[in-house]
Amino acid sequence: MNKEKAQQRIKELTDIINENNYKYYVLSQPVLSDYDFDMMLAELIKLEQKYPEFAEPDSPTKRVGGEITKDFQQRTHKYPMLSLSNTYSEQELADFDTRVRKLLPDEEIEYVCELKYDGVSISLTYADGLLDYAVTRGDGVVGDVVTNNVKTIRSVPLKLKGDYPANLEIRGEIFIPLAGFAKFNKERIENGEDPFANPRNAASGSLKMQDSAEVARRPLDCYLYYVLGENLPFDNHYDNLLEARKWGFNVPGYLAKCKNMEEVFEFIRDWDNGRDKLPLEIDGVVVKVNSYRQQEELGETAKSPRWAIAYKFKAERVLTRLNKITYQVGRTGAITPVANLEPVQLAGTTVKRASLHNADIIEALDVREGDMVYVEKGGEIIPKIVGVELGQRPAGSHKLKYIEICPECGTPLVREEGEASHYCPNEESCPPQIKGKIEHFISRKAMNIDSLGEGKVEMLFDKGLIRNVADLYDLNYENLIGLEKTIEASGDKKEKRLSFKEKTVSNILKGLEESKKTPFEKVLFALGIRYVGQTVAKKLARHYRDMDTLMKATFEELVLVDEIGEKIAESIIRFFSEEKNIEIVNRLKEKGLQFEMTESASPKSSKLEGLSIVASGKLQNFTRDEIKKTIEENGGKAVSSVSKKTDYLLAGENIGPNKLAKARELNIPIISEEEFLGMIG
């Protein structure tokens, strides 16, 4: 292919892929199969590698991030990002309508109703159809430039299509859908990290991350709802929003034109009842005067436009008594204060407890035992206390003093700088931490000893038979048979007796023996080292090959391992500096657990010595496990994600576009299955 044809093909592929991205992420109507999409992207990456001078500014290969922003520059908004006046009352909405009509006498007024999305405000500026910069709201006058991070959001167009204005600003909300948030938090918990309190906090934190490649891994989305600029095609808000969809923007369909306040109220009531069916959180409805001319005549105050108002939904709230505050200790030692409430109905369920999160929240609320408190669920799964009815505070009430010692073991609590929670440092003897670590050890994704579930760990702990994970392998028939425990009843349930009979004991011992075959990477994950989740454990196991080598690794050596950052390295060093942890590892070794890569995974040739290879997509001659095994048998390292340390990307059919784009971004050679077979002879 000559240069002229290559340039033409690059443009053609860029346009086709971007059109499919728009139809997939914005319209939910993909036009290409996954296979066709991946093959076109692979072709584009190869062409851009060969002819980088022809890469389009809106190339889809730029979506994977990789830019590092040490300090976020600030930028003044061309049009100030004013906040809206809020109301919770239909009467105040009617008063808003009265004020509008008084300032615009004898004119027809048309309103546009939109949902008020609970995310992070963003302003996008386009020059000649290309995304120029993205700026956060900031203080409304000046915001932070977060362009690199916003470019990773696939529903945000990098280049517009159709008949768009030369200079254009559009505003909207960046958010994380509820399903993506649940999955994201689950992964954080599995990695020993604190979960985010809600989707908005997660979205806000993501936008200010320094590494845009990390942002690309987060399930961010963006709705756009306000067009600004000169030479707009229409003289009203509603029609310009519909036109913005044609330019490629993700303008949500949750909006309506209303001729009067009755229609506005109907829209509000419909969505107040239907908001739980949405894929994201909302907290109200925004009502705007549709005509730009009328907006200009109405003007604005110093803080808010006079032509718009936000109606906030009342989160379902109940008043009940806070009987007692107790404190829970988690597997990592984190302390969570819990409000034990007088049972009350809320959002269709009986609520008896609510989280108080940490000492700072308690201090801010000034909540005390015996108080009548307001409890909400809102968009959150766990009920929370949002206020205190001070008029009903009992006489003689005393300000709550947060605990200073662990409620389970009496150890003084610590609070590290920058941490929201207090921690119990007594990992060795604190019962909830011990039981939590053992429960993690036997879990399905770790050692997978399912015969020890359903309260058996707690029973064995209470009977004094286990105090750490190594004790599990000292269990035998004699000390298990005949053990009994009565489980207290709760609610309408009857009390239950747990008894270790012949079959139960046999299953437990069999499960323990089978677990000795569990591969090294899962054993490493099972140890519960903070921040060492499944993926990190796999990388460490394959890099160091055995536990002894890993235990001797220095901080400087650890951070050189693919995707091992300073926080993870510090945690590993800290874990293996504790004598008790070394003792547990040695005991587990003696019992026959796998603390090195198996012989079958050891190199049989040195043809791939020192090479890190990512294999992705469907291969003709290998399954997923077989290709990893083959790479390792030939002295290479099979890694799962593309980074600057990757030497080759082995691309099969249906390879994910993110890996291809990342490889192209880092100039990593992309090889076919045939080329790989040639490398290993």
Question: Tell me, what's the pLDDT at 140?
Answer: 86
Per-residue pLDDT tens digits for 69-85:
767 898 999 888 888 88
Strands 317-329 and 372-376: antiparallel
Question: Tell me, what's the pLDDT at 472?
Answer: 96
Per-residue pLDDT tens digits for 239-261:
999 999 999 999 999 999 999 99
Per-residue pLDDT tens digits for 593-614:
999 987 554 556 778 887 889 9
Enter the tokens of residue 668: 């990593």
Average pLDDT, the chain: 87
Residue 60, SS3 per DSSP: helix
With beta carbons less than 8 A apart as the criterion, state whether 112 and 290 touch. yes
CA distance 25 to 153: 10
pLDDT at 303 exceeding the cut of 60: yes
pLDDT at 412 exceeding the cut of 60: yes
CA distance 475 to 461: 12
Question: Tell me, what's the pLDDT at 601?
Answer: 46
Per-residue pLDDT tens digits for 154-174:
899 999 999 999 999 999 999
Give the count of beta carbons closer than 10 Å to the beta carbon of residue 76.
10
Enter the tokens of residue 661: 């784009």
Torsion on CA atoms 446, 452, 458, 464, rounded to nearest 10: -100
Residue 24, SS3 per DSSP: helix
Count how many residues are written for the chain.
Answer: 681
pLDDT at 491 exceeding the cut of 60: no
Task: Please compute the mean of the pLDDT values over residues 313-319 and round it to a whole number.
Answer: 81
Q: Which residue bears the tokens 């004699």?
A: 478
CA distance 228 to 231: 10
**What does the DSSP assignment read for 403-414?**
-SB-TTT-PBPB
Please, is 604 exposed, middle or buried when counting C-beta atoms within 10 Å of its C-beta (0-12, 13-18, 19+)?
Answer: exposed
Query: What is the torsional sign of CA 159, 163, 167, 171?
Result: negative
Task: Please compute the mean of the pLDDT values over residues 226-251 and round it to a whole number.
Answer: 94
Per-residue pLDDT tens digits for 110-138:
999 999 998 999 999 999 999 999 999 98
Q: Of 214, 207, 219, which Cα lies nearest the Cα of 123?
A: 207
Question: Tell me, what's the pLDDT at 454?
Answer: 64
100 pLDDT band, cuts 50/70/90, is very high
CA distance 650 to 630: 13
Question: Tell me, what's the pLDDT at 444?
Answer: 85
Cite the beta strand spans of 192-289 per DSSP E: 221-228, 255-258, 282-289
Helices and strands: H and E segment counts in the chain: 24, 22
Question: Tell me, what's the pLDDT at 650?
Answer: 92
Please, is 343 exposed, middle or buried when counting C-beta atoms within 10 Å of its C-beta (0-12, 13-18, 19+)?
Answer: exposed
489 pLDDT band, cuts 50/70/90, is very low
Question: Tell me, what's the pLDDT at 561?
Answer: 85
Question: Tell me, what's the pLDDT at 447?
Answer: 94
Residue 355: phi, psi to the nearest 5? -80, 140
- Residue 496 pairs in a beta bridge with 487
Residues of the chain above pLDDT 70, percent: 93
Half-sphere exposure of 503 (CA within 13 A, CB side): 0
CA distance 622 to 458: 44
Please, is 150 exposed, middle or buried when counting C-beta atoms within 10 Å of its C-beta (0-12, 13-18, 19+)?
Answer: buried
182 pLDDT band, cuts 50/70/90, is confident
Angle in degrees, 0-180, between the axes of helices 178-190 and 199-207, rounded to the nearest 10:
80
The set of catalytic residues is 116
CA distance 417 to 541: 31
Residue 354, SS3 per DSSP: strand
Per-residue pLDDT tens digits for 570-587:
999 999 999 999 999 999
With beta carbons less than 8 A apart as the criterion, state whether 49 and 667 touch. yes
C-alpha angle 438/442/443, rounded to 5°?
Answer: 115
CA distances from 664 to 37, 48, 209, 657, 668 (A): 16, 8, 23, 11, 6
Task: Please compute the mean of the pLDDT values over residues 655-674 and round it to a whole number.
Answer: 83
Task: Please compute the mean of the pLDDT values over residues 250-275 and round it to a whole number.
Answer: 93
648 pLDDT band, cuts 50/70/90, is very high
Alpha-helical segments (H) within 26-67: 34-50
pLDDT at 443 exceeding the cut of 70: yes
Give the DSSP H or E segment for 438: helix 431-441
Per-residue pLDDT tens digits for 373-400:
999 875 445 688 888 999 999 998 889 9
Question: Tell me, what's the pLDDT at 68?
Answer: 65
CA distance 57 to 130: 8
490 pLDDT band, cuts 50/70/90, is very low
Residue 283: phi, psi to the nearest 5? -130, 15
User: C-alpha 222: how far from its chain's center?
Assistant: 15
413-447 burial: b if 16+ Cβ within 10 Å, else e: beeeeeeebbbbebbeebbbbbbbbbbbbbbeebb
Using left for φ > 0, alpha for ψ between -120 and 50, and beta otherwise, residue 475 falls in beta
Give the count of beta carbons closer than 10 Å to the beta carbon of residue 613.
23
Enter the tokens of residue 393: 């505070």
CA distance 100 to 94: 10
Residues of the chain above pLDDT 90, percent: 49
Show the domains of the chain with their CATH numbers.
Answer: 3-64 (1.10.287.610), 76-312 (3.30.470.30), 315-424 (2.40.50.140), 431-515 (1.10.150.20), 520-597 (1.10.150.20), 601-679 (3.40.50.10190)
Secondary structure letter of residue 333 according to DSSP: -
Is this prediction's pTM over 0.75?
no
Question: Tell me, what's the pLDDT at 59?
Answer: 84
